[in-house]
Amino acid sequence: MKKQRICIVGDGLSGLMTALALNKLEGWEVHLISKKNKLLKDKRTTAVSASNFDFLNSVVRKLDKKLFWASNKINLFYETKDQNMNFLNFNEDKKNLMYIFENDKVKVKLLKEIKKQKIKTLKKNINNLKDLSGYDLKILCLGRSSKIYQNIIDKRSLDKDYKEIAITGYVKHSIKNLNTAQYFLKDGPLAILPFSKNSFSFVWSVNKNFPKKGISAVVKSKICEVLKTKNIKISNQQSYPLTLNLKRTYYKKDILILGEGLHTVHPVAGQGFNLVLRDINKLQEILKYYTGLGMSLKSCPALEDFTTNRKAENIITGIGIDLTHNFFKQNKLLDPLKETILKNVSKNNTLKKISKFISNQGLSI
Ligand SMILES: Cc1cc2nc3c(=O)[nH]c(=O)nc-3n(C[C@H](O)[C@H](O)[C@H](O)COP(=O)(O)OP(=O)(O)OC[C@H]3O[C@@H](n4cnc5c(N)ncnc54)[C@H](O)[C@@H]3O)c2cc1C
């Protein structure tokens, strides 16, 4: 039987992982199309759950474990009038809760794997869907805001501009046994993500009008204050505008959107790429099923099945993260009440178990 052809456009984390996952399917020929010129280096880290790490491991042969920093403790703090109150801790003795990796290093590894697996790669700026004729399935992993999406889906999507930016960067430090942590500060949530013994990355989401002047000094002083240290060195500082975008339409005919283009969520819960990995896992499973039945994409409902399987979880998670973000936003009336609520959260083991399960495996809808 003639092989069906898939093209994946975009070589961010979503595109690279999709190419590798779908290349495992028999009966399909995978091509990856990426832009000719890149402007910004991705100097962020990403935290993935233990179950998504297992999926990554199943897709990438001989995954270099040194690229992933395992974390088995996560501590959450809330800034009150006189302290950062530690209101919730997740601890595991025998297993890991999450794995943190540097985006650019893992992208290099995924690209090497793509070459090793002889997946055809093409350098091309796609501006028109006609450029993709000849493929049975076209998957667009073009990031959060490509104009190309407008040609294939209706405008009904959940949109919100947080009017915030995420300031990110790498930090060298000498703190012993630093754990992964999230500080819900008055200025906005600050995540501390260790990725080696003496390095961590941070993501601090603040109002977009946050002082632009001397921002590096402000960031450094805040991190030193929070971690009660003096000796840190910051590098690779970047900033990202923050929006919520949850698409209601996922595909048209034989064109599917994946990645940030399908759901862009606030980074406060570190769930964006985790959702993408669950999407890719499900897509791989569905395509394998129909290919196994000997059906072509044209005669099977694979993309509709994918939408049915993934849309509810993606939308509920996006809204859940938005509610969490709103809860922790400064509010003079509610702030004293929040302290009481959070003190009770720390005592509630069921809530802890549910949060741990959802962060690891999603909603399993
Ligand atoms: C500050 C921050 C922190 C985050 N932290 C986490 C975390 O800890 N855990 C987590 O799970 N998620 C996290 N996320 C989300 C995560 O970063 C993204 O889900 C992930 O990077 C996937 O992005 P993507 O590949 O879909 O899009 P992008 O990275 O935007 O990639 C899109 C690609 O498409 C290419 N492209 C665009 N247009 C064209 C075109 N016309 N032709 C060809 N190519 C094109 C671009 O060059 C680019 O390579 C975070 C996000 C932010 C903003």
Output the pLDDT for position 1: 67
- Percent of the chain past pLDDT 70, that is, above it, reads 98
Ligand 1 atom 19, closest CA: 273
- Percent of the chain past pLDDT 90, that is, above it, reads 73
Residue 92 pLDDT level (bands cut at 50, 70, 90): confident
Ligand 1 atom nearest residue 276's Cα? 19
Q: Which of 277, 302, 356 is nearest to 137 (CA)?
A: 302
Is the pLDDT score of 186 beyond 70?
yes
Single-letter amino acid code for the residue at 213: K
Cα–chain center distance at 232: 26
The CATH code of the domain that includes 123 is: 3.50.50.60
Ligand 1 atom 51, closest CA: 267
Query: CA-to-CA distance for 337 and 84, rounded, in angstroms?
Result: 16
Domains: count for the chain: 1
Protein residues whose CB sits closer than 6 Å to any atom of ligand 1? 9-15, 33-35, 38, 44, 46-48, 125-126, 141-143, 146, 166, 168, 203, 240, 259-260, 267, 270-274, 276
* pLDDT (tens digit per residue) in 269-328: 999 999 999 999 999 999 999 999 999 888 899 999 999 999 999 999 999 999 999 999
Ligand 1 atom 41, closest CA: 126
Give the pLDDT mean for 13-25: 97
Is the pLDDT score of 164 beyond 90?
yes
The Å distance, Cα 13 to ligand 1 centre, comes to 6
Helices 50-59, 349-361: axis angle to 10 degrees equals 20
Ligand 1 atom nearest residue 144's Cα? 30
Output the pLDDT for position 38: 65
The Å distance, Cα 103 to ligand 1 centre, comes to 10
Query: CA-to-CA distance for 255 and 186, rounded, in angstroms?
Result: 43
Output the pLDDT for position 39: 56
Output the pLDDT for position 354: 74
Domain that holds residue 290: 4-361
* pLDDT (tens digit per residue) in 214-253: 899 999 999 999 999 998 999 999 999 999 999 999 999 9
Output the pLDDT for position 351: 73
The Å distance, Cα 273 to ligand 1 centre, comes to 8
Residue entry with tokens 């700026």: 125
Ligand 1 atom nearest residue 242's Cα? 53
The Å distance, Cα 179 to ligand 1 centre, comes to 26
The Å distance, Cα 349 to ligand 1 centre, comes to 34
The Å distance, Cα 144 to ligand 1 centre, comes to 7
Output the pLDDT for position 207: 96
Output the pLDDT for position 40: 63
Query: CA-to-CA distance for 325 and 327, rounded, in angstroms?
Result: 6
